[in-house]
Amino acid sequence: MEEINALFGGFAVAMTPFNLLLMLVGVTLGVIIGVLPGLGGANGIAILLPLTFTMPPTSAIIMLSCIYWGALFGGAITSILFNIPGEPWSVATTFDGYPMARNGKAGEALTAAFTSSFVGAFFAIVMITFLAPLVAKFALQFGPPEFFSVYLLTFCSFVGMNKGSPFKTISAMMLGFALATVGMDTVTGQLRLTFGQPELMRGFDFLIAVIGLFGIGEILLSMEEGLAFKGAAAKIRRQVVLETWAKLPKYWATTLRSCLIGCWMGITPGGATPASFMAYGVAKRVSKNGENFGKGEMEGIVAPETAAHAAGTAALLPMLSLGIPGSPTAAVLLGGLLIWGLQPGPLLFVEKPDFVWGLIASMYLGNLAGLFVVLTCVPLFASILRIPFSIIAPVILVICAVGAYTVHNATFDVWLMLGFGVMGYVFKKLDYPMAPMVLALVLGDRAEDSFRQSMLISQGSLDVFFSNYLVSGITALALLLLFWPIIGKVISKKKPAAA
């Protein structure tokens, strides 16, 4: 029970008054970010990252991860009360949440959503607590080829799991890789693809890309849709909370299923959004009340919320143990770790146990704090949404500009942010996925390093990725996922023929 001891050590680190205060601040900021359309977890953290530069790393990461939990909670508020998914992963919550709110059951819907979110996240944290150290220990034996094959798996799974055009996914990903190569080459020290421009020597920071793609892009989209907020009134009385809690155990099977779907989708970088849809779809098919889904069925809130949070939380497992983030937001957190000189990956558990276990402990506490904050302050957060968009939009844009500037103290980055914003708008409308691009931008250098090291080992032969059972297994799985769009088609064509 090594993990339990380490976890208690972690609680000791996380439970200082300063850290507890940061948790509350982080969760509150996170909920605001989640509630506001146009600001999401990933770019919210990217913008607020500079504020944590003066803090000790453990406190900083506690605050940032609490922003993440808050954002995960906040998305549900707008979905249920306003039928506007504040985050992509809360789209599935609108299907039943909004009808419930219109039937005067807003309190029940919100309580169900928050509680399921909490349960999903809690399940994933327990999994991280026991699984992450094992994965890290296992990964300590990895060499460059193994690491590259894991990176390959990460990227191929985007191709295999995305519903849109696989070629667009690949293009978006390659664009990310190409942008990541700009600047100093870490191996030879040569300047690459800067074309003599001194501004390009810094390279493209993914934080700027995140702020532009998700922040500015979202504002442009909201503007096009002519956003108007009309919401159901929200008040959560204690009576309603208790009554809803009494009903929830009925859905234990849905909850457990959604937890598992979420954890799986979070570890393999499917992310919270597909997890929520998948859990909703499965719940609809399996449930006795399946035909009522979409009309205001509580089970239709429980399933996507549980899965989204389980996935959002589970995405931190590969980030902590392998250094591979499972979601764009986890990628931003990873960026934060790198800024503080912490190298996420298997060695982190050996070198900085205080940090890792402090973070894991703060996940438990942060989610509790989150549940408390959202259950008590819903009317307050809902009132933020009543601020008209013509005030919110310029303020968000200014905040994004501040965030982009502070990353490198460069105005050029603010221009880049605007460029990425237009790109985000076009990408979204043409169904180019943004998550693989951001992850490629984050992981580009590391993937390239492990690729070059592997090539050095094998003197340029690709056989190195099939040199032992472990690496061949991972590479084979990666290739399977890469060609899944084709394989899947072949299988589904054969099935009706056989029947």
Partner 1 sequence: MSENTNSPKSESAISVRAMDIITALLFIILGLVVMTGSVKLGASWGSDGPEAGYFPFYISLIFILSSSITLYQAAVVDKKKKTESFVDKEPLKQVLAVLLPAIVFVLGVQLIGIYVSSLIYIAVFMVWLGKYPLWKAATVSLGVTVALYLMFEHWFQVPLPHGSWINPLEFIGVN
- Give the residues lining the site for partner 1 (CB under 8 A): 50-51, 53-54, 88, 91, 165, 167-168, 170-171, 174-175, 177-178, 181, 185, 187-188, 190, 192-193, 195, 216, 219-221, 223-226, 388, 390-391, 393-395, 397-398, 401-402, 405-406, 409, 411, 414-415, 418, 421-422, 425-426, 428-430, 432, 448, 451-452, 455-456, 460
Q: Which amino acid is at 57?
A: P
> Closer to partner 1 at the Cβ: 190 or 492?
190
Chain centroid, CA 455 distance in Å = 32
> Closer to partner 1 at the Cβ: 92 or 232?
92
The nearest distance, CB 93 to partner 1, in angstroms, is: 14
Backbone angles phi, psi at 197, to 5 degrees: -90, 120
The nearest distance, CB 279 to partner 1, in angstroms, is: 18
**SS3 assignment, position 298:** coil
- 8 Å CB contact between 30 and 67: yes
Tokens of 131: 């699984």
Q: Which residues of 70-95 are buried (b: 16+ CB within 10 A; e: fewer)?
A: bbbbbbbbbbbbbbbbbbbbbbbbbb
The nearest distance, CB 440 to partner 1, in angstroms, is: 9
Sign of the CA dihedral running 311, 35, 37, 71: negative
The nearest distance, CB 23 to partner 1, in angstroms, is: 19
> Closer to partner 1 at the Cβ: 122 or 389?
389
Query: Between 144-161 and 166-181, two packed helices, what is the crossing angle to 10 degrees?
Result: 140
Beta-bridge partner residues of 475:
none
Beta-strand pair 183-184/191-192: antiparallel
> Closer to partner 1 at the Cβ: 236 or 396?
396
> Closer to partner 1 at the Cβ: 394 or 488?
394
The nearest distance, CB 427 to partner 1, in angstroms, is: 8
Tokens of 30: 């996170």
The nearest distance, CB 360 to partner 1, in angstroms, is: 27
> Closer to partner 1 at the Cβ: 372 or 405?
405
Only one residue has tokens 């590969």, namely: 318
The nearest distance, CB 153 to partner 1, in angstroms, is: 17
> Closer to partner 1 at the Cβ: 4 or 402?
402
